[in-house]
Amino acid sequence: MPPWPDEETPRTPPPPGGRRYRLCIAYDGTDFSGWQFQPGRRTVQGAIEGALSKLTGETVRVHACGRTDAGVHAAGQTAHLDLARPWEAAALQKGLNALLPDDVRILRLARAKSIFHARYDAKGKEYRYTVWNAPVENPLLRRQALHIRTPLDLAAMRRAAAMLEGTRDFAAFSANPHREIGGTVRTLRRLAVSRRGPLVTISAVGDGFLYKMVRSLAGHLLRVGRGAVPADETLPILESRVRTARVETAAARGLCLWRVFYGRLP
């Protein structure tokens, strides 16, 4: 497949006589170099576009609501694509899943309005970061959860998380704050920490996220939970608007794009 331009495609309609389709995609990101097509690398976009080419005979670009990094998973990535020769949605979904590798699946596929755009129409996203907090690692979750052996102080993590909610300048939690398009102010509607047995989940819901922002938020909360950073340092770090080594980027394997919102955010 040829490399596609890096810039986002504007709101162009499907070709005359063609159709637009909306997809919900799940994938284990462990063995992918992220979502975006890269020559010579295994990517989710490349895998889906390759399967589409084999199935339909067309060269098709798949537009996602956003790009996930290498090693990051998705339970509800949303994307759209256009076909010049229309297919019945169920047949297209079945055909794609038969050709895709085992670590990526099209969970849902349906015809979409010609003006629908997976990125531009998205109102927000939910990411979940998963930790297996127990002395012994769970081998069934080793690819989807970070293993932390020592106990975590969830009360301290929740205090720190509450300081980060709202409309804030998150430059201190971006891995590349000086290159963020549209600035570094985002609205974090919810940053919650929950526990079910050894499984600790950090859930972040927002209107948009900066580069590696969720992994940075998770990394900070986990340092607070381990006692390496006091919860009260959260606000000074945020207000500094400077990214330093005090904010740790958590490992990619614990992060999952859980769902994308196209209506009102919860």
Q: Which pLDDT score is estimated for 266?
A: 75
Q: Which pLDDT score is estimated for 55?
A: 98
CA distances from 129 to 37, 147, 252 (A): 24, 12, 9
Which of the residues 69, 103, 153, 207 is marked catalytic? Answer: 69
Q: Please determine whether the domains at 19-112 and 124-261 fall in the same fold group of CATH.
A: yes
Which tokens belong to 2? Answer: 């040829």
What is the pTM (predicted TM-score) of this model? 0.93
Q: Which pLDDT score is estimated for 21?
A: 98
Q: What is the pLDDT of residues 20-61, one digit of tens each?
A: 999 999 999 999 999 999 999 999 999 999 999 999 999 999
Domain positions in the chain: 19-112, 124-261
CATH architecture type of domain 124-261 = 2-Layer Sandwich (3.30)
Instruction: Give the separation between CA 88 and CA 86, rounded to whole angstroms.
Output: 7
Q: Which pLDDT score is estimated for 6?
A: 40
H-helix segments, 100-180:
154-164
Q: What is the pLDDT of residues 76-114, one digit of tens each?
A: 999 999 999 999 999 999 999 999 999 999 999 999 999
Q: Which pLDDT score is estimated for 182?
A: 80
Amino acid at 118: A
Considering the domain 19-112 in this protein, what is its CATH number?
A: 3.30.70.580
102 annotated active-site: no
Which tokens belong to 245? Answer: 């080594």
Q: Which pLDDT score is estimated for 12?
A: 84
